[in-house]
Amino acid sequence: MVEKIIEQCKQLRLKAVMLNLDQVIEHASTQNWPCLKTIEHLFDLELEQRRQNRIFLMFKRSNLLEKPTVDQFDFDHHSSRKKQKTKILNLLTLEFIRQKMDIILIGNPGVGNYVKHSLM
């Protein structure tokens, strides 16, 4: 029966479900998961894999040589970046999420020259 389901997953292009089916069924059995929880877990795996694939594809299409990180950000490029450096770096703490604040970045594409905090 599992072989038939795997074949159907291939036809439906559910690669993550297909690759994880045996392991998830075994885990669900040992943890006594209900059917719906098992199906939900398989779908979660599929959706996460598709999200990761989209990220990879977008990065590939961007033709960037490497994945940019904040430590590579050139704060000296423009004076407004220097003025906002502390605010930009403070965003890395993700404290604005806990405080339920919006973050608005304003400027020309690729410039990122203004950071504004506001309450929701």
Where are the domains positioned within the chain?
2-62, 70-119
pTM of the shown model: 0.59
Count CB neighbours of 45 within 10 A: 19
pLDDT tens-digit series, residues 29-72: 999 999 999 999 999 999 999 999 999 999 888 887 777 777 77
> Which are the contacts of 6, defined by CB distance < 8 A and separation ≥ 6?
18, 21
pLDDT tens-digit series, residues 96-116: 999 999 988 776 665 444 444
Half-sphere exposure of 51 (CA within 13 A, CB side): 6
